[in-house]
Amino acid sequence: MRKITKYLLLFLFAMLVTCVLAACSDNGDDSTADTDEGASENGETASEEKKVKLTIGSWRTEDVAKYEKVIALFNETNPDIQVEFNPTKNTEYNTVLNTSLQAGEGPDIFHLRPYAAGLKLAEAGFVEPISDINGLEQFSEDYLAASKGSDGEQYGVPLNISSTQFFYNKKIFADQGLEVPTTWDEFIEVNEKLLDAGITPIAMGTKEGWLLSLTHGIVGAGVLDGNTFADKLVTGDKDFTDPAFVESIEAMNDLKKYFPANSEGLGMDDIRTLFAMEQAAMFPLGSWEIPVVNELNADLDYGFFPMPSKAGNQTVTTWVDGSFAINAKSKNKEAAKTFLEFLTTKEFGELFVDEFKMISAIPGITSDDKLLSELSKAVESNSTPYYWVINFVSGDPTTKTVLETELQGMYLGEVTPAEVAQKLQENAETSFEPFK
């Protein structure tokens, strides 16, 4: 019995040693495996943790794929900064951005609306000054003004220049024996000949108010001879009751007969389609429409012409259509400044023009797209400021909004051009400093 007990104890002891050794061996293997996997997973995590993460807010939901290419180019020289482009629907962007900023949150970098609309955020302390970043010195003062505060600080890097002008269908013009107009009288003559031929001259609708302020920016520059009137208006030496300005509103009213039938019910999508599908000869709109029209009809042969004045001067109406700014509450301001400096480089400008088919705010950037290249040259030599956006977006409602509402009423026969001008003046006197 004692021998059995002895052997049993020896057996149990041997089993215990074996189990302990096996456990140690297994633990060693598991540890090695965990370490190997951890080296891979934790290595990636550690690598990811080393990266600074930036988020970009914007209203350009249609540009996600394009910004992926921008970020890829940026990461070629800045691999340790991870950037995510996270846009919001354009009609919701202002509300979403303002709410997040007021909560001390929001994206590190965001698309800043141009001029007064964006600068209100800077004045409220939500935007980081960036006057010290490299690359700003190449931009013109006019372009920098779109995101420069009253304190003299720069708050945004200008992204693109928008221009408005008349696009025209080259085939329709050739078939009708028409030449591009170089004076206001020639412009009216072209419209009359198209109307007589049973062709809708101008793709324009009055359903959406912003289309009307934009169209006045084009047409008004023709009637008012480019900067001749605009320069005096923005200094307060002229106002909206001036006979010359009233004439520009009358000209808008006179153009209605060249619009499509039932123009009161037509919006942006409608008029763009009319032009792209060759059901209208001309289309007064912005440079940003080029890629959209091309997608609708890649075979459309069209060009543009600056708005001609009575004196024969040619103008395209321009403004900085957004800048990129840094959230004052961002925890990664230095990385954000690195990204904004990248937005001032020639490499970015060339990619932007090629991918976005828009005019870069960076000087000297050309495009292989003939239409865009010619338009860029016209912007440099024949531009007039779009003062509805640059100077008259203050007030509640803004003077720009009053123009849109009153023009809609004019096209419905509810107000006269002189009454439109008077209401504009009354509104502007409440918010536009030179009129106070």
pLDDT at 47: 52
Percent share of the chain, pLDDT over 70: 89
Going from the C-alpha of 139 to that of each of 147, 208, 339, the distances in angstroms are 12, 33, 17
Lowest mean pLDDT segment, chosen from 62-66, 309-313, 426-430: 309-313
Lowest mean pLDDT segment, chosen from 81-85, 87-91, 235-239, 275-279: 87-91
Put the strands of the sheet holding 157-158 in their side by side order.
Answer: 81-85, 52-57, 109-112, 323-326, 157-158
pLDDT at 91: 86
Average pLDDT over all residues of the chain: 90
Which residue, 298, 239, 290, 292, is CA-closest to 435?
239
pLDDT at residue 77 tops 60: yes
Instruction: Please write the tens of the pLDDT for every residue from 260-305.
Output: 999 999 999 999 999 999 999 999 999 999 999 999 999 999 999 9
**Cα diameter, the chain:** 128
pLDDT at residue 2 tops 60: no
pLDDT at 21: 42
pLDDT at residue 36 tops 80: no
In this prediction, residues 13-31 reach a mean pLDDT of 43
Alpha-carbon gap, residue 428 to 345, rounded angstroms: 39
pLDDT at 253: 98
Question: What radius of gyration do the chain's Cα atoms show?
Answer: 31
pLDDT at residue 38 tops 50: no
Going from the C-alpha of 296 to that of each of 299, 340, 352, the distances in angstroms are 9, 33, 21
Alpha-carbon gap, residue 10 to 320, rounded angstroms: 90
**Domains contained in the chain, CATH given:** 51-159+321-344 (3.40.190.10), 162-320+377-435 (3.40.190.10)
Percent share of the chain, pLDDT over 90: 81
Q: Cα-Cα-Cα-Cα dihedral of 416, 420, 423, 424, to 10°? A: -170
pLDDT at residue 8 tops 80: no
Alpha-carbon gap, residue 367 to 379, rounded angstroms: 14
HSE-up (13 A, CA, CB side) for residue 281: 26
pLDDT band at 49 (very low <50, low <70, confident <90, very high): low
pLDDT at residue 31 tops 50: no
* 277 Cβ contact list (under 8 Å, min separation 6): 296, 297
Strand partners, 324: 111, 157
